[in-house]
Structures are given as structure tokens and as C-alpha cells.
Structure 1
Amino acid sequence: MPTAILYIRVSTGAQAARGYSQRSQLDRLEKYCRDNNVKIYDTVYEDCSAKSFNRPEWKKLFSLLKTKKTGVDMLLFTSWDRFSRSIIDSYTMIEKLKALGVSVQTVDHPVDFNTVESKYRLAIHFAESEAENARLSERVKRGILKAKQEGKWIGKAPLGYQNRQTSNGMKYIALKEPEAKLLKKAFEEVAKNIFSVGDVYSQIVSEGLQCSRSNFFRLLKNPIYCGKIRISESDTGREYDIDGVHEPLISSVLFEKVQEVIEMRQRKTSKRKIICEELILRGFLSCPECGKSLTGSASKGRSKKYHYYHCHPGCHFRRRADEVNLQCVEFLKKLKANEPYAALVGMIQENIKTASDLKNEAERAQKASMVERFSDKMVNAHDLFVKGDIDYDDYLLIQSNCKRQIKTCVEEVQQLAVLSKTVPFQEVSCILDKLYDFYKEASIEVKREFISYILPEKTTLLEGGFDEMINEPTRIVFNIKSSNPKQGDEDNGAGSFQVMDEKYLAFIEDYFTEKKMAQPANVKNIVIFLKKITLLIIRG
């Protein structure tokens, strides 16, 4: 008498409704055993997909069969799709079971493995099962995509939200406290750009947020928190965001600001790996002996490392980096702008402030228009409800959506006011006379950018110091006398400005005409230089 293990598998409630329930399968398998005089060794129940054999109960069953002490010589299923839905995996597993002396058989479509025709029919059964699985997978993918395109979140709610369900069975996500409050605080702290993202994470975790560091960084980049659903189309590879139907945790303005801060910090982190502050002038200087670009490196002394700017192999020129850097610092300490140029910086600063105010005002006007539009929509919905054109549920839904949109617009306007605060504009002209103070507090990247504005490209390192090395605009603006005036005759990035504001040129021309003094020849480069310096100081 053959001995069999009955294997019963159901992966979804829908399959149970179609007659694949565990009770139904068990009844049919037991009847088969009675009719064919088969002894039942055990019954295994599985609640897992048949896409692969990576199933908990199947693993236990296969381990049991490998012991060869059970006396089992058959695995019995109701149909082949209960066994597997993969052609390759099915044949591989059948061979493994055959090596253990165990055969596989089904009630609905029994197969005689000794005949070619039965093997052919078995291949058809496996192909049909795999095709059905593929169709089901495709339907699920299309359903998920359609739901996302309607602004719905699919799956487990992200941190700060919870899965909810309406009385009529519609699923949605809602804010969950206290996680939502802590995450909102995290976004606000990162946007301020005072502490690093890692420091903000440590602070929020200490206040009770349960989240890993890697997941925290992913959350900061997830648009779900500003009311968006990200959609990725596998066919086209296109990725885009649409408005979700859930309540946003933060405004879009705050989310975009956080992305800017993260991107900026990532750029600084990558640069910091290759920029050494002790060799901050590396790349700007050229060798006074052979004319090649100077590089830099550190030499290990008895107690510490000493950094040098030096030429390439074949040329023996080198200079202590700390001495050259000190010359640069001492040069910055004595800089003081001439009268017309200090006043011109004030004009440039005021124009930048005006442009910034106009941009903010345009964005605020746009948000105000949106608030007015949603308010009108609420009024129209009320009128339609009174007339009986829409039912009460639709009326409440429209009112709720409009209120949420109005709240979001108001928060974004408030956020614009907070995030638009930068270095006080009235301090810029003062800093122009204290460039050393600005340089001392600046990051390495900003220091190097500032140096690129005052030095011409590939400046020859001269014994006379930086008075002999600066470009012509710097020399004129700060009235630096030099015995080597040709050192800075190059155009220091004039091409980066496509539009020249003629009123700046007119201001300088009027000043020198009134003073009856000779006007500098390269006024345009001077204006470009001052605009760059002013923008750099404001940006910090």
C-alpha cells in the first residue's frame, strides 16, 4: 500500500471562494486515498504563493523527506497549480523528489511519468499555471498603477501615517501621532541647515522616533510627506509625482528646501574628500620657474606633517604651504574698498534684494489666487448641495479637499516667509570692508570660490606676495599698488554674466567725471567682480 503526504495550499481568500479552500481540498484528497487504497502519512497546510518553492511549510516537508525514515513514497495534490506555478522549478523539484524515492501526483490530472504523452500533458499544465500567474501579476501591477494615478497610497503606510478604512470599505492613510509631529520637526530642522542631517536624526530619535538612520534619510526624500505620490512606469521608465488624496505632513516649499539642503550637503561632503584646507590654494598657483601648475602634498616631520606647494617631477621648486596661506590671510586683512565701489556694492545689493522680494511676492500672489479659487469651489459646492444637484457625501468630500488645499497654501506662504530670511542685506557693504572676517568664517568651498574671484587663472607664485598676484579688478577696487600690473590683466570669468546692467557703468562714469579723475579702462570687469563678491557674501 503506497503512503502519501497530502499537500494543501491556499494563497488568497479569492482562491478559497473559487473552491480551493483547505476543507474542499482535504475532502477530495481523502476520497482519492480511500478509492485508491493509499495510506495517509500526514497532511501539510500551506498559506503561501506557488511562484517558487521558497515556502515555510514546503521547506519543512522537504527536510522531512530527506531523512528517508518516513516511508512516504508519494506527495498528493488536488491539481498541478497547487504544486507549483513555475515550469523550471516544477521539473527541478520533481527530479529532486524522484532522487529521494518520492513521486508527485494530483487528483484532477493524474500523470503516468512512464509515458511520453503524459509528460507532454504535464508540460501543458505547468505552462498554464505559469501563464495564469503572469497574468495575475500583470493585473495586480496595472491595478496598483491605476490606484497611484488616482492619488492613493498602496501598501503599508509610511512612518508618520497609519492605514485606515472608511465605513464603505475604502482604504486610505491618515497622520499618526506622535510620529507625524516628530517627522515634521525633523523636516523643519533640516531645512534650517544649522545641524547636519545626522545630528537632526540623533535629536529626533532621542525624542522618541523609532527609525533606523538609513530609513530616516530615505524618508526625507519621500514626496508622500508633502502630499505627493511618486509613480514609476516600468514600460517607459518615466517617473513623476502627482497630488495624493491623503493629508500632507509638510508643505511642498518645505520639502523642496529640504532636498536643496541635502543635495548641497552631499556636494560639500564629496568635495571635502579632495580639498585639504592646508592646501587651499592648490590649483590656483603656477610655478615661477617652469610655469607649470603647482600641486601640493604633506611631508611627515618628527612631530607633525608639513604641507608644501610644489611643482611636478623634473622641477625642484617648493614652498611651505602655511607661509603662503598666511600671506593670503594678511593680504585680506588690509583690504578696504575705495569710495565709489563701496557705494556701487550698495546698489547691487539693493537690486538683488528687490529681485528676491519680487519673486517672493509673485509666489505669494499665486498662493493667494489658489486660496481664492478653492474658496469659490466650496461656495459652488454649497449651492449645488442646496439645489440637490449633489448628495451630502459628495458635498462633504469637496469641502474637506478644499479646506485641506487652502491650509496647504497658507502653510506654504508662511514657509516662504521663513525660508526667505538670509544674511541681512544692510550688512553686505560693511563686510566688503571686512573680507577677512567673512573669509575666516566661510567653508572651504566658499573660501576657494572667493580666491578664484581675486586671483587670475594660474597665478604665478611671486616673492612679493599677493599684492603682486591679484587680478586687475581687485587691484582697482581696493587700490592695491603693484610693480607687476600685468599679472592680473586676464578677464576673470566675464563671460559668466550675459547681461550687463548699464546703470552700474553709468554710476562709475558719473563718479569719475564729477571727481575729474581718469576712469579705469576695464569698468565692465570691475562691475562683474563686485556682483560676484556681493552674491557670494549674501549666499554665505
Structure 2
Amino acid sequence: MQVADLYVRVSTDEQTKGYSPRSQEAVLRQYCQLRNITVRQVFVEDYTAKHFNRPEWRKIMIILRKQRNRTDLLLFTKWDRFSRNTSDAYQMIDVLKKLGVEPQAVEQPLDLTVPENKMMLAIYLTAPEIENDRRGLNTKAGIRQAKKEGRYMGKAPRGYINKAYEDGRRYITLHEPDATIMRWVFNEVGEGLYSSESIMKQANKKGLNIDKNTFLINLRNPVYCGKIRVAAHNDEPAYLVQGLHEPLISESLFYKVQDIMDGRSKILKGLAIATPKDLPLRNFIKCNRCPRMLTGSASKGKTTYRVYYHCRSSCGVRYRAEDVNNAFMDELTTFIPRPGYPELFVASIAEAYGNQHRAIKEESDELILQISTANKKVDAARELLILNELEPSEYRKIKEENSSIIARLEMRLNEVNVQKSTHVNIKKLAEMAVRALCELDKLYDISSIEAKRYLVGILFPDKITYAEGACRTLKLNRGAELIYLENKALRAQKKGQKPLKKSLPHTGSVAVRNSNHFVDELIELGSFSKILKA
């Protein structure tokens, strides 16, 4: 009497709750009863047949290898229950034969010892594979078309939730409180003050509960600014379309975050949000023996704890936190403008920025020229493609690269055009900044730990060095630097000399960017007190 193992398979877990598994098992048992075949075990699978890396199938192979010659047949209803991959199916049939097991579909029986039956086997195996491939192509085409029309397909990213209309069409909409937290995340990363990892930890404390990999993927997702990415396909390059969903953030903020993550923006990054109150300068002080930044910690003495700034490496650099903090306070007092000069500083800055404002039009013209040049490159590549002088793959690469360049240039052009029509009260900003600098040491002394680190970050972008009991820095905030340069120049100026020529560096399109950064830095200098504790 022959012995058989029965194999029942459906594609999904939901189908196991339906009638199909019981129906297949009933057909197989009836087949065995009519032919006097003993049923040994029944295996029920809820997995795809595109490959044999299936949980139940792995269990079957382990049993068959351990218990050789105890099973004669492996029965299933149809060959598509066995496999929907022709090449894998032939290999598995050979493996089973070597184990002394004959696979057989009871509703599509074949005597595989007859050579001609191999042709029928190929038909039985190939037809389901073709059906699978066609269904897959149709599904992919439908998903691609839906994306082109601005619909988000797939599981909603954090901050959104999947919903469906009455007609079955799916869409995504904002989901609180995750949406508010993700908006906060983008704003914090865009500020450039803290590392993405420390921002992620704070977001998780707020209730986001996200892992690092998903967090970084979300920061790259254009869905948050209202865009849908359509992937490259055949000769069509990847591109972005306007989505139908509500954007969580602005496009300018999204691309600002991308620049920060790609390292295209010079920002203050790598700082931890949570810092002990006795270590406001942690990760701001350069080690003078190695390239690392000094961290900080407390060590227990006989009766109390002592706090130190120290290097993580084996170079041995270590300073008492109290000494470094006091030296930094002394250094701050040297940057306080001399009494009587704030009005002159404000007038100087206002005049310099006014002279520089014409550079906005120069950058606008330069951006238009760059966009035109990029479009001409794409047009030239298209001509070469038509003349068969350029491979399609090379053309796609050129078009994709230039499309990305054009998108960024157009975004920047829109910002510049907005600046043309925006009036900045530079005098008021300068007054705020100078007022803050006049009370620099006092403001720093009464600030919270967060405000202290914020001030250090915006005032000293190139970090601080500590040696021989004193703190030094090589580069200042651009707004503060101009004020202090003017301060020194005014001290050296003799009576009767002509006033100094006041202008910011002028190098075409760079000038407006410098001017815009300068204004941003003045705003930061003048408004950092907003994060002081009341």
C-alpha cells in the first residue's frame, strides 16, 4: 500500500479561513480512499507559490529528508498549488525524486515516466506563471497611473493614515498626534541645531515610537511636502507630481532638510538636545590634541561630584567644567560693543544691506540662465538619441540628473522672486541684534541650558578652542562679525577721516545668498531670547 503526504495551499492568511483549504483536503482524501492510499500527514500552507521559500514547504522537506522511504507520494489538487515558477518547479521535482517521492496533481494527473507528458507538465506550470506575471504587470501599471494622478499608494507614512471613499478608492489624510510630531521633526531638522538622532529620541518621547531607519526614510519622503514620486520606468525617468493629499510641510522646508541631510548646507549639527546644566559647551569645544569634540561628564570625589570636559579618545585631554565655563564668560565680555557705538553699527549694517539688495536681481538672472542651460542639455541629448548617437540609458541618466537640477533651481528662483517683493526692515533687525550683543554676558548667564547652547551655536559656527585658561574662536556669526569688524575699525579711526565704506562682499549670485544668510543670522542674534525661561 502506498503512503502519501497531502499538500494544501492558498495564497493568503485570509483564504485559510475560507472554504478552499477544506475543499482541497476533501478532494485529496477522497482520491486516496478510492485508490487505497494511506494518508500520513496533511500540510496546509498560506503562502505564495512564486518560490519554495515557504514555511510549511521547508517543514515538508526536513521531514522527507529525515524520514526517507516512508512517503511514496506528495499529493496536491493542481500543479499551480505546487508552484507558479517553472524553473523552480522542475528543480524541486528532481529533488523529490531523489528522496523517493513522486509529486502528483490529482486533478491534472501526469505519468512523468512518459517523455511526452513533460510537455503537458510545462503547460500546467507555465500557464499559472504567465497568469501571475500578467496580473503583476496590470497591477503595477494601475499603481503607476494612480501615482501619476497624484494618489499615494501603499501604507501611509507616519503622520498620515489610510482611508477609503465609498466607491473603494483609497487616499491618505493627516493623522494626529503623529502629524504634529512629524511637522515638529522637520522644523527641528531644518533649523540645523541638533543631530537627527537626538531629534528622533525627542520625537519618540513625544509619542512617535519610530526606529532610526524608518525615521531617516521618512525625512526623505516627498509625500510630506505634497508630492508623489513616480519611479523610473523603461525610457521614462523618475519625477515628482503634485499629490491629492494635504501637505504636512512646505516644499522649501522639505528641500532645506534634504540639503542638510546631504551635507550641502553649512549648519550646526551633531548637538544633543538633552544636556546637563553644568556642561553648556559640550560638543562645542575642539580637542587640541585630536580632531574630536570634547564631551563632558561628572566624576565622584571624596565628598562631592566634579564635572569635567574631556575627550573620548585616549589623548587624555581633560578640563574642569567650571574653569572652561568661566573662561567662556570672560570671552563673551570681549564681544560687547563699546558704549556709544550701537547707533553707528545699525546705520552701517543698514547701508551695507541696502547696497547689496540689487544682487537679488543678479541671482534671479543667473538662475534663469542656469535653468535654460540645463534644458538645452536635455534637448541636445534628445537630438543625439533620435540620431542614434546616444544610448537610451545614457539619455535617461542625463534627463534625470538635469530634471533634479532644474527642480532645485526653480525652487530657488521662486524664493528669490518672493524676496524681490518682500521688504525687510534691516534697521529693526540690526537694532535687535546689537541690543542682544550689548547684554551678551548677562543674557547668557540667565539663560536656560537650551538657550545657552542655542546662543553658542549661532554665535560661534566654527566651534571653540580652550587652552591656557582662555577660550578662543576662529569664526563668528556673519552678523556679529560685521559689527565687531566695524567696532575695531571705529576704534582705530582717527578724527577727521572720512567714514568707512560700508558694503557686504559682492560676488554676483553669492552676494544675495550671503545677504540672506546675514539677515537670518541677525534675526537669530536678536531673537534667541525667545527660548529663555520666563
TM-score (norm 2): 0.55
Query: Aligned equivalents of 2:50 and 2:80: distance in 1?
Result: 10
Higher helix share: 1
Query: Aligned equivalents of 1:531 and 1:249: distance in 2?
Result: 29
Pairwise CA distance, 1:113 = 2.9
1:8-39 deviation per Cα after TM superposition (whole angstroms, max 9, x unaligned)? 222269999xx993355345434433444433
Amino acid at match of 2:202: Q
Amino acid at match of 2:205: S
**Are 1:98 and 2:97 counterparts?**
yes
Pairwise CA distance, 1:220 = 2.5
Provide the secondary structure at the position in 2 that maps to 1:43: strand
Pairwise CA distance, 1:119 = 3.0
Query: Aligned equivalents of 2:350 and 2:257: distance in 1?
Result: 31
Pairwise CA distance, 1:352 = 5.4
From 424, 429, 439, the counterpart of 1:424 = 429
Partner residue in 2 for 1:311: none
Q: Is the Cα–Cα contact under 8 Å of residues 8 and 44 in structure 2 kept in the other structure?
A: yes
Query: Aligned equivalents of 2:489 and 2:517: distance in 1?
Result: 13
Partner residue in 1 for 2:179: 180
1:183-230 deviation per Cα after TM superposition (whole angstroms, max 9, x unaligned)? 233334434444443333222222222212332232233222233222
Report matched runs for 1:134-153 at 5 Å. Answer: 134-153=133-152
Query: Aligned equivalents of 1:119 and 1:45: distance in 2?
Result: 27
**Are 1:349 and 2:353 counterparts?**
yes
Provide the secondary structure at the position in 1 that maps to 2:118: helix
Pairwise CA distance, 1:428 = 6.8
Partner residue in 2 for 1:6: 6
Provide the secondary structure at the position in 2 that maps to 1:116: coil
**Are 1:223 and 2:219 counterparts?**
no
Larger mean CA deviation between 424-433 and 222-231 belongs to 424-433
Pairwise CA distance, 1:269 = 5.8
Report matched runs for 1:459-474 at 5 Å. Answer: none
Partner residue in 2 for 1:392: none
Gap change, CA 1:106 and 1:347, over 3 Å in 2: same
Query: Aligned equivalents of 1:164 and 1:109: distance in 2?
Result: 43
Amino acid at match of 1:226: C
Gap change, CA 1:8 and 1:278, over 3 Å in 2: closer
Partner residue in 1 for 2:212: 213
Q: Is the Cα–Cα contact under 8 Å of residues 349 and 425 in structure 1 kept in the other structure?
A: no
- Unaligned runs of 5+ residues in structure 1 are 283-297, 306-327, 360-412, 454-473, 482-514
Cα RMSD of the aligned pairs, angstroms, is 5.8
Q: Is the Cα–Cα contact under 8 Å of residues 429 and 522 in structure 2 kept in the other structure?
A: no
Pairwise CA distance, 1:165 = 2.5
Amino acid at match of 1:146: Q
Larger mean CA deviation between 96-105 and 114-123 belongs to 114-123
Q: Is the Cα–Cα contact under 8 Å of residues 188 and 194 in structure 2 kept in the other structure?
A: yes
1:469-494 deviation per Cα after TM superposition (whole angstroms, max 9, x unaligned)? xxxxx99x94899xxxxxxxxxxxxx
1:259-307 deviation per Cα after TM superposition (whole angstroms, max 9, x unaligned)? 445445787669xxxx994679x9xxxxxxxxxxxxxxx9969x779xx
Partner residue in 2 for 1:241: 240
Pairwise CA distance, 1:344 = 5.4
Structure number with larger C-alpha Rg: 1
Partner residue in 2 for 1:45: 44
Query: Aligned equivalents of 1:192 and 1:300: distance in 2?
Result: 33
Pairwise CA distance, 1:98 = 2.0
Query: Aligned equivalents of 2:267 and 2:458: distance in 1?
Result: 12
Provide the secondary structure at the position in 2 that maps to 1:114: coil
Give the fraction of aligned pairs with identical amino acids, expressed as a percent. 34
**Are 1:200 and 2:199 counterparts?**
yes
Amino acid at match of 1:53: F
Pairwise CA distance, 1:241 = 2.2
Amino acid at match of 2:152: W
Query: Aligned equivalents of 1:259 and 1:173: distance in 2?
Result: 23
Pairwise CA distance, 1:110 = 2.8
Gap change, CA 1:539 and 1:423, over 3 Å in 2: farther
Report matched runs for 1:252-271 at 5 Å. Answer: 252-263=251-262
Gap change, CA 1:93 and 1:480, over 3 Å in 2: farther
Gap change, CA 1:533 and 1:222, over 3 Å in 2: closer
Aligned residues: 397
Partner residue in 1 for 2:381: none
Query: Aligned equivalents of 1:211 and 1:299: distance in 2?
Result: 35
Q: Is the Cα–Cα contact under 8 Å of residues 345 and 534 in structure 1 kept in the other structure?
A: no
1:39-86 deviation per Cα after TM superposition (whole angstroms, max 9, x unaligned)? 333333222110111212222222232331783211112222211122
Query: Aligned equivalents of 1:539 and 1:236: distance in 2?
Result: 47
Query: Aligned equivalents of 1:129 and 1:532: distance in 2?
Result: 62
Q: Is the Cα–Cα contact under 8 Å of residues 76 and 105 in structure 2 kept in the other structure?
A: yes
Pairwise CA distance, 1:342 = 8.6
- Unaligned runs of 5+ residues in structure 2 are 271-283, 292-312, 320-330, 364-417, 441-451, 464-472, 477-484, 526-534
Q: Is the Cα–Cα contact under 8 Å of residues 349 and 430 in structure 2 kept in the other structure?
A: no
**Are 1:112 and 2:111 counterparts?**
yes
TM-score (norm 1): 0.54
Partner residue in 2 for 1:54: 53
Q: Is the Cα–Cα contact under 8 Å of residues 113 and 119 in structure 1 kept in the other structure?
A: yes
Partner residue in 2 for 1:81: 80
Report matched runs for 1:389-428 at 5 Å. Answer: 424-426=429-431
Gap change, CA 1:332 and 1:187, over 3 Å in 2: closer
Query: Aligned equivalents of 1:34 and 1:422: distance in 2?
Result: 97
Higher relative contact order (Cα pairs below 8 Å, separated by 6+ residues): 2
Gap change, CA 1:227 and 1:6, over 3 Å in 2: same
Gap change, CA 1:172 and 1:452, over 3 Å in 2: closer
Q: Is the Cα–Cα contact under 8 Å of residues 2 and 73 in structure 2 kept in the other structure?
A: yes
1:431-456 deviation per Cα after TM superposition (whole angstroms, max 9, x unaligned)? 99999xxxx97769976699699xxx
Q: Is the Cα–Cα contact under 8 Å of residues 433 and 523 in structure 2 kept in the other structure?
A: yes
Q: Is the Cα–Cα contact under 8 Å of residues 7 and 75 in structure 2 kept in the other structure?
A: yes
Query: Aligned equivalents of 1:37 and 1:5: distance in 2?
Result: 14
Amino acid at match of 1:10: V
Amino acid at match of 2:184: K
Provide the secondary structure at the position in 1 that maps to 2:116: helix
Q: Is the Cα–Cα contact under 8 Å of residues 52 and 84 in structure 1 kept in the other structure?
A: yes
Q: Is the Cα–Cα contact under 8 Å of residues 68 and 100 in structure 1 kept in the other structure?
A: no
